[in-house]
Structure 1
Amino acid sequence: MKSKLTLRLDDSLIKRAKRHAKRKGTSVSQMVADYFALIETEEPSSAIQELPPVTASLAGILKNKNIGEEDYKKHLEDKFLT
């Protein structure tokens, strides 16, 4: 079943949304529906809550760190070669 939803937005935002939808060959309604479907799938799952406490406490610890392959190689060299 489809229902109507009214959104109150700035006129300039509505115009931009309509232009974007036209360029993409879709409707503003479909863009909003796609967005809501996307954010529904991105919500944090309860998987972290099911992890053992030690593992759960480490989840996301490196989220904002810039660690690359070279850092990992150096860690292994330090650990096993010195």
Structure 2
Amino acid sequence: MDKKLTLSLDQTIIESAKNYAKTNNISLSKLIESYLATLTKSKRNSTDITPLVESLSGVISLDKEVDVKDAYTDYLIEKYK
């Protein structure tokens, strides 16, 4: 069920939002509804470590002298020669 909501916003923001909505063929109400739905949607914590990744942690050990970024760069250079 849709309800009416009154907002107070800066005039330039309102005009920009109206232009954006018109350009994208969406009503301003739907645009704001979509934004608020995205904003309030419960998000899965992206830092959760899956059991598989946790079980693999520590499997490979590298010398402290190895620069992983340099090694990967060398690998890519060799791969795309």
User: TM-score normalised to the size of structure 1?
Assistant: 0.52
How many residues of Structure 1 are paired with residues of Structure 2 in the alignment? Answer: 61
Q: Over aligned residues, Cα RMSD in angstroms?
A: 3.5
Aligned-pair CA distance for 1:19 = 0.4
- In 2, distance between residues paired with 1:71 and 1:22? 49
| Identical counterparts, % of pairs | 32
- What is aligned with 2:27? 27
Match of 2:40 in 1: 40
- Structure 1, unmatched stretches of 5+, are 56-66, 73-82
CA drift at 1:45: 4.3
SS of residue matched to 1:3: coil
- Structure 2: gaps spanning 5 or more residues: 55-67, 73-81
Structure in which a larger fraction of residues adopt helix: 1
Cα-to-partner distance string for 1:42-82 (whole Å, 9 max, x where unaligned): x4447x5xx9xxx7xxxxxxxxxxx86x667xxxxxxxxxx
Q: Does 1:12 align with 2:4?
A: no
- TM-superposed CA distance for 1:40, in Å, is 2.2
